[in-house]
Amino acid sequence: MTSEPSDPSLFEALEPGQLTLYSERPLPRRRLGRGMLALLVLLRVYVLIAIPIVAYAFVRALLAH
């Protein structure tokens, strides 16, 4: 496996086909620490709580008129 180039000007030297091939290469999964995983779980819980509240407010506003 080759190392990642750190100079952005190297991308400008690539031909369009090479750039497409390079940008479509999948990235490896990142390992997350406990703190980041906890934040992501809290974000998921927040979204699951917020969606019904927003939907209720939306429906309530529609029926108010």
Q: In the predicted model, is pLDDT for residue 1 greater than 50?
A: no
What does the pLDDT average to over 14-37? Answer: 85
What percent helix, strand, coil does the chain show, rounded to 5? 65, 0, 35
Q: Which residue has the higher pLDDT, 7 or 58?
A: 58
Average pLDDT for 13-34:
83
pLDDT of residue 31: 94
Beta carbons of 19 and 11 less than 8 angstroms apart:
yes
Q: Is the pTM of this model over 0.85?
A: no
Asked whether the predicted pLDDT for residue 48 surpasses 80, the reply is yes
